[in-house]
A and B are shown apart, each in its own frame.
Chain A
């Protein structure tokens, strides 16, 4: 939209702006809040919700992965300890039996 209005017909003439209060009153008169379109507000909310969901899903998956790895590690440690213990028991028993046989 091009400028067409002549200065002398303007509501914002320089003689109205001689002091601070006239500028303030001009600003108060013409600067009014505008409302964004409802369609825009709703669409942007939808976009933001779509951005949030994948982040939360990803966090849940990574938590379960961590839990799985921890449980596997604990199970492996328990299995190793039990195996070593059983082996030691067998070894000890075998030694005792061997000693007793020699006597």
Chain B
């Protein structure tokens, strides 16, 4: 099996994708290992709940495995296909749970940055929670853009490929997203003033 894994790793992602499409389980395992953290992050920041993120991430890969034989390389990155599945599942999840429902960040969630100062971590965590509450008030497309840009740290071109838009359209959407985020901030703090 180790020889097999080594052989798979020697190939390009396009070749591995072709193998996975043909039903090669080692190739699919390689793709799973590469993308599981990214998909988990995306779902986690869209739902704000570690347990739900695990559940939805599992569904994303189950669905991907079921339909991998129908996957056709249309020049888009494979991650775009996975993000599309994740996006649809998260949309269904929000529809089923009610979009205005407040979802607290899971207490069992690992902190993003480990520090020797627990107090600063607590403050940081609260601030992150506030920020995510505000982000989740944005339309799904804008939430996706923010997550891909700041959590996944992708370029506008890469985000465009994933979201099926041009780089220019992403720049424009990004600018409008920051403006609406500022408005949401102001509204949020006005409510607590």
Give A contacts to B, CB under 8 Å: 1, 3, 5-7, 10-14, 17, 20, 23-24, 26-28, 30-37, 40-41, 44-45, 47-49, 51-53, 55-56, 59
B24-56 contacts to A, CB under 8 A, are 25, 28-29, 32-33, 36-37, 40-41, 44-45, 53-54
Which of B7-15, B74-82, B144-152, B158-166 lies at the binding interface? B144-152
Q: Using A10-B189, A33-B37 as known contacts, list a sample of 6 further A-B pairs with CB atoms less than 8 Å apart, ordered by residue number in A.
A: A1-B104, A27-B150, A33-B152, A40-B57, A41-B36, A44-B32
A51: B residues at CB distance < 8 A: 62, 65
Asked if A23 contacts B32 (CB within 8 A), the reply is no
Hey, which chain A residues are within 8 Å of B131, CB to CB? 12, 26-27, 30-31
Cβ proximity bits B76-119 to A, threshold 8 Å, 1 near / 0 not: 00000000000000000000000000001101011011000000
Q: Are B44 and A17 in contact (CB under 8 A)?
A: no
Q: How large is the interface on B (under 10, 10 to 19, 20 to 34, 35 or more residues)?
A: 35 or more
A23 touching B178, Cβ below 8 Å: yes
Cβ of B45: which chain A residues have Cβ within 8 Å of it? Answer: 31
Q: Is the CB of B36 within 8 A of A44?
A: yes
Q: Which residue of A lies closest to B175 (CB)?
A: A20
Chain A's closest residue to B113 (CB) is A32
Interface of chain A, helix or strand or loop or mixed?
Answer: helix
Specify which of B32, B130, B147, B151 is in contact with A12 (CB 8 Å cutoff).
B130
Alpha-carbon distance A31/B41, docked complex (angstroms): 10
CB distance from B29 to the nearest CB of A (A): 7
- Among candidates B28, B105, B126, residue contacting A52 with C-beta atoms closer than 8 Å: B28
Distance between Cα atoms of A41 and B58 in the complex (Å): 9
Smallest beta-carbon distance A43→chain B, Å = 9
Using Cβ atoms and an 8 Å threshold, which residues of chain A touch B40?
A: 34, 36
A66 shortest CB reach to chain B, Å: 17
> Known interface pairs A34-B112, A41-B36. Does A11 touch B127 (Cβ–Cβ under 8 Å)?
yes
Q: Which residues of A contact B105 (CB under 8 A)?
A: 1
A11 touches B123 (CB 8 A): yes
- Quote the shortest CB–CB distance from B133 to chain A (angstroms): 8
From A26, A27, A35, A52, give the contact of B37 (CB < 8 A): A35
Q: How far is the CA of A53 from the CA of B107 in the complex (A)?
A: 37
Kindly list chain B residues whose C-beta atoms are within 8 Å of the C-beta of A17.
182, 185-186
B57 touches A36 (CB 8 A): yes
A49 to B157, CA, bound (A): 34
User: Closest approach, in angstroms, between the C-beta of A4 and any C-beta of chain B?
Assistant: 8
Instruction: Kindly list chain B residues whose C-beta atoms are within 8 Å of the C-beta of A6.
Output: 192
